[in-house]
Amino acid sequence: MPLAGTASLYTTIDSPIGELLLLGDAGALHGLHMQQGRRPAAIPPRCRREPGAFAAAIEQLRQYFAARRTSFDVPLALSGTPFQLRVWHALQDIGYGETLSYGEIARRVGRPSAARAVGMANGCNPIAVIVPCHRVIGADGTLTGYGGGLERKRLLLELEGRAPTAQLSLA
């Protein structure tokens, strides 16, 4: 999985969805990766472990997993193509406990016929949970395509009180 090239610090934490790798610098979070998903992230060669640099993000994640936080306000440093950035910013507009389809995100970023491209951008999201790609579902309500695995996606949606209305899709 591609990682932010400017991240110089990292730490890991345990969570209800498994180990999370946080990457960033003194100013912002560059990456948040589920290490037990399909594509665990490698720690960049010159990164140094520094848990204190991520204190705010760690505290907000703990509050989120304890159902005491519905939004995040840690500084993020997203790096991607202009289209990916539009998609990732649109993801941040999906409210806690809400879901949208890939097609609806495509409409919101001004590319109504680009649902598949939205899915690809969603799959490249470098900051899981905080940039809530888990809130994007198939047009028919199925849970599809999640780098951390569909069971983790279901767990996150259930945590937010948004139990899926349809079965998991393995597509």
Q: How far is 13 from 138, CA to CA, in rounded Å?
A: 30
Do residues 20 and 58 make contact, with C-beta atoms less than 8 angstroms apart? no
Q: Would you tell me how many other CB atoms lie within 10 Å of the CB of residue 10?
A: 23
Q: Is 133 a catalytic residue?
A: yes
Identified catalytic residue from 105, 133, 136, 157: 133
In whole angstroms, how far apart are CA 30 and each of 7, 77, 98, 123, 138? 6, 5, 25, 16, 27
Do residues 121 and 80 make contact, with C-beta atoms less than 8 angstroms apart? yes
Show the tokens assigned to 90.
Answer: 């649109």
The amino acid that residue 166 corresponds to is A
Catalytic residue annotation: 133
